[in-house]
Chain A
Amino acid sequence: MLGAARQKMLGQSLQRIRPMEKVFRSYSSAAKQMTVREALNSALDEEMSADPKVFLMGEEVGEYQGAYKISKGLLDKYGPERVLDTPITEAGFTGIGVGAAYYGLRPVIEFMTFNFAMQAIDHIINSAAKSNYMSAGQMTVPIVFRGPNGAAAGVGAQHSQCYAAWYGSCPGLKVLSPYSSEDARGLLKAAIRDPDPVVFLENELIYGESFPVSSEALDSSFCLPIGKAKIEREGKDVTITAFSKMVGFSLKAAEILEKEGISAEVINLRSIRPLDRSTINASVRKTNRLVTVEEGFPQHGVGAEICATVVEDSFGYLDAPVERIAGADVPMPYAANLERMAVPQVEDIVRAAKRACYRYVSTAAAA
């Protein structure tokens, strides 16, 4: 008991210096509940208050309090000079944000969804990601692009794509995808403070979900390291990697697998680029089996990169082929039953983990 208390105190004070260690308890016992929405809002509020150079720009962020109410109260607190409602030109306001960042401000650009960011992707890649390199360090771009990514519910093909793989392939960008409220707070703060351009992929369906947050996470100087994954659940039989909403599904799958005698280790990637290859490989070396889970399209996805990195670094440790769970290779359908089949479900993850453990379930049964 005493040991646990001491460990907790030590853990809290060393949290920032020590790399993410595997702890059984994810959060401190004196937990407050916070939705992801509140977490993002508080992170934005604190960073804007700490640094006058930080400003928010996007459609509906001001008067409307944010399309998903993430920026609630910020216009009233900071005024229209720092919370800018923009006309409907993603390319326009993204370019303007990049220009302001070239000058030295720290913009946070909100996209109503990253599907709309495709109209601005030239500015994200060509003007933000590559500029520091092309200008030989003369033009830095301390900008954050954030917004919901991936499937929501019943919004169809043009509102449901996951862009983690697209942005994750680009050198010059950092790509983050939080799951819990603590992730959301810590990673958004880190993103805003980071001198490089950061793509921050949120998820609309988790905005309303509540998670416990430690008192340390509530501190205004709280920050999570970029490029470090988190082991959400320890296990020894199979490694399951996931990010964003799929972390929740993977944890549920792990519960089901536990009952069947399979101990799954669930890794919350948190950072798509840079990918925490050392944590993933260390886990696979322990469990010898890997299932990658993502919501996006299967070809050239995040799972493909994770599989390649494990094959490169830990081939000898694999006891089974790597299993990839991804969204269906179709544009997202609208009808609820079709949509459900186009996105990974908990059963899919359970089946894949079993396959990796050679507890074979025929794929015909899945259809």
Chain B
Amino acid sequence: MAFCMRISRNFIHTLKSKVGFFRRDLTPWLTSPCVQIFENPDPILQTNVTRFTSRRFESIKAEEQCSSADHAQVLDFPGGKVAFTPQMEFLSESPEVRSPCYRVLDEYGLSIEHSSFAEVSKEVAIKMYSDMVTLQTMDTIFYEAQRQGRMSFYVTTIGEEAINIASAAALSISDIVVPQYREPGVLLWRGFSLQEFANQCFGNKGDNGKGRQMPAHYGSNKHNYFTIASTIATQLPHAVGAAYSLKMDKKDACVATYFGDGGSSEGDFHAALNFAAVLEAPVIFICRNNGWAISTPLSDQFRSDGIVVRGKAYGVRSIRVDGNDALAMYSAVHAARKMAISESRPILIEALTYRVGHHTTSDDSTKYRSADEIECWRVKRDPVSRFRKWIESNGWWCDETEMELRSSVRKQLLHAIQVAEQAEKPPIRDLFTDVYDVPPANLCEQEKLLKETIKRYPQEYPAHVSV
């Protein structure tokens, strides 16, 4: 109703300027007959004058709009003025040119001319590279451990080390990280030890998750890293809720949440982006577009130009980045963080990369993609070696330090696995705790009965599990 009134006012003003005689405000024109028009007929109106004014007024209005040159060409609609067009044009479903991808280092690790990127100090660069190597080595060794039957399950991050580490490096420890499940590197950067990773994977007494979850479902309050859940994309609205809470508390921090190309198909992705924009929440959505959702390739996942174009649909500022370029990732996240906090808005970053490993140890990706494709990305576009070339070109790294790092990390990991494997499992009482804040009566009773049973039949229960 409201905008109809405005059109009519525009029309009335135009009429006024042409005819210049309306003595009364005509805004309630829809309800009351416009008698005064007939008292002083206008040449345009004269031909079509009848007693039944409202309907007549409408058709005259259309005629008026067509004939008038300086007439209203815009629609004042919620959200801003919308220009009219007489040409029927559909927006194309795919752009002629895809959104460009921000990259700073070429395949040889050399910085591209005229590139803009955030400065990275030697210390930070070395830590970034060391953590990327550590992550890569941890993945290799833990994967092997699973294949040997020592671990039940594992999720590798091979090929996505730059996304993990570089994004973590650009955040501060007060920023909350809400991961999917392929971001252990962020936790590694924040100080989660190799032993702690191994403990969680073996579900032993040292696991701060008390052996409740499958391997690779890390979580640590101390490191501001929400505990991983297997459900896809559910973390996206959680991230928005947490960001809204940060905003209400006026904290100088944001939330960074990660998801894959497959996760962007979930309803939660839509809800999260939409809400983040409406609530003006300081959250960075980082999409690891790695080409595969288990065996589903991108062509079966969506038909849009990736995920970056969707940001615009929700009113979210977005950028596409080369996910295998650690420096570009760092710069993009660094800038996104500043915008998210200072302008209190969500930012979407689509990082293009490749899932070099299998989806998890329960998958064999050679069954649905060519070994050549995997090899190409693994060797030619490896983010770790690319970054290594850059730090070497700065004189911050050399072969010796490389060898030292790799052998040291490998030793630490093998030791961590050994310790984790032999460590005691969590006590039986951890079966019953944390269901609620206070254990309920029925669980207390069951725990008591179980303890009594174990005491009575000790030979039936494993000796190395404490009660």
Binding site for B on A (CB under 8 A): 81, 84, 86-87, 89, 91-105, 107, 122-123, 126-127, 131-140, 171-172, 174, 194-196, 227, 274
Contact = CB atoms under 8 A, between A and B. Distances in A.
Nearest to A136: B210
B213 interface: yes
Contact of A99 (B231, B240, B430, B435): B240
A132 B435 contact: yes
The 3 closest A-B pairs by CB, nearest first: A95-B237, A99-B241, A92-B271
Given A103-B176, A138-B219, A132 B239 contact: no
A91 B271 contact: yes
A276 to B, nearest CB: 10
B176 A123 contact: no
Contacts of A171: 435
Nearest to B207: A136
Contact of B245 (A105, A135, A139): A105
Contact of B238 (A105, A127, A194): A127
A174 B227 CA distance: 22
Given A92-B274, A138-B208, A99 B213 contact: no
Contacts of A98: 237-238, 241
Given A100-B241, A103-B176, A172-B436, A122 B234 contact: yes
Contacts of B299: none
Nearest to A92: B271
A127 B229 contact: yes
15 contacts: A84-B279, A87-B275, A92-B274, A94-B237, A96-B241, A99-B239, A99-B244, A105-B248, A127-B231, A127-B238, A132-B435, A136-B207, A136-B434, A172-B436, A174-B436
Nearest to A140: B437
Contacts of A135: 209, 212, 219, 227, 434
Interface string B165-181: 00000000000101000
Interface in B264-281: 267-268, 270-272, 274-275, 278-279
Interface in B191-214: 207-210, 212-213
A122 B434 contact: no
B212 A100 contact: no
B251 to A, nearest CB: 10
Contacts of B231: 122, 126-127
Given A91-B268, A95-B272, A139 B226 contact: yes
Nearest to B431: A133
A89 B275 contact: yes
B92 interface: no
Contacts of A103: 176, 241-242, 245-246
Contacts of A138: 208, 219-221, 227
Contacts of B436: 132, 172, 174, 196
A196 B437 contact: yes
A328 B208 CA distance: 48
Interface string B357-371: 000000000000000
Given A95-B268, A100-B242, A127-B238, A274 B434 contact: no
| Most B Cβ at <10 Å: residue of A93, A99, A103, A126 | A99
Given A92-B237, A99-B237, A100-B242, A139 B268 contact: no
B14 interface: no
B433 interface: yes
Nearest to A132: B434
Contacts of B176: 103
Contacts of B430: 136
A101 B240 CA distance: 11
A136 B435 contact: no
A227 B441 CA distance: 10
B234 A95 contact: yes
Contacts of B245: 99-100, 103-105
A92 B272 contact: yes
B308 interface: no
Contacts of B243: 99
Contacts of A101: 241
Contacts of A195: 437
A107 B241 CA distance: 10
Given A89-B270, A135-B227, 6 more contacts: A89-B271, A93-B275, A95-B236, A103-B242, A133-B212, A134-B227
A81 B436 CA distance: 29
B440 interface: yes
A58 B383 CA distance: 44
A95 to B, nearest CB: 3
Nearest to A273: B440
B433 A123 contact: no
Contact of A102 (B210, B241, B271): B241
Given A96-B240, A103-B246, A126-B231, A87 B278 contact: yes
A63 to B, nearest CB: 15
